[in-house]
Structure 1
């Protein structure tokens, strides 16, 4: 009888330890993904800023350019046909502040001649265990002409 009691207590302790370790691992994975999303968001903003700050007074640089979502890629394109992949491997929702309970927006236009607002939600991969992680970018680009 004493042996059964010891085994039951040991089983409870092992189950508690496994639960704590599992929770810690899940929390670590969520934190790691959150950091990845933040880093990717910073890279996206810096790449767009570099394009935005090009001198629009030069005839070769158009005033407006678009940021598009195409096949899980965030793409820069302008009137001259210039295309550049800004980010890939995530899901994106452009200008979510302008969309309320509507489908995901796949295009936004930025104008180098004036202040341009930029809003983006960057989604991490879907995980069946928890809510899909996201990182929101709400910023504006402007420069002194």
Structure 2
């Protein structure tokens, strides 16, 4: 047998092993990137929803003729709704109204407002602000 060309079984197995390792690394990097993107996107959605909630409450708070703002969390799990009076201002997340505990904001007083929003698979996002008027 003179100078036969071709590859041996050992060379073929080594090539397949290297290709397998490279494929696993690429899939791992893509999976990690996709998960990080999903977490970041959900965090941004929570922040946007929090900003919207605060702005809705603030606009109602600044009205002169409003005696009291009543907030209420209705429902369970991810089907919760955040209501201001009879109006739904947010839904589709999990809400935990920390302060004011009774859910009542009096425009005649400075009020610390703290609300925690969360969505499945993400860390909760906490809004903490103070409603006050120049008197």
- TM interval, shorter chain, is 0.7 to 0.9
**Residues 67-125 of structure 1 deviation map (CA, whole Å, 9 limit, x = unaligned):** 11012010011xxxxx21110110000016x8xxxxxx7x511011010110000001x
**Residues 10-48 of structure 1 deviation map (CA, whole Å, 9 limit, x = unaligned):** 000000000000000000010000100000000000000
2:125 pairs with 1:121 = no
2:74 pairs with 1:70 = yes
Rounded Cα–Cα distance in structure 2 between residues aligned with 1:133 and 1:87: 18
Specify the alignment match of 2:104 in structure 1.
109
Rounded Cα–Cα distance in structure 2 between residues aligned with 1:65 and 1:95: 16
Note the C-alpha offset of 1:134: 1.5
Q: What secondary structure does 1:95 align onto?
A: strand
In the TM superposition, structure 1's runs of 4+ consecutive aligned residues that sit over 6 Å from their partners are none
Taking structure 2 as the reference length, the TM-score comes to 0.85
Query: How many pairs are equivalent?
Result: 122
Taking structure 1 as the reference length, the TM-score comes to 0.79
Please identify the structure whose Cα radius of gyration is greater: 2
Query: Which of 43, 46, 63 is the aligned partner of 2:55?
Result: 46
Specify the alignment match of 1:91 in structure 2.
94
5+ unaligned residues in a row in structure 1: which ranges?
78-82, 99-104
2:134 pairs with 1:139 = no
Q: Aligned Cα RMSD in Å?
A: 1.5
Specify the alignment match of 2:40 in structure 1.
31
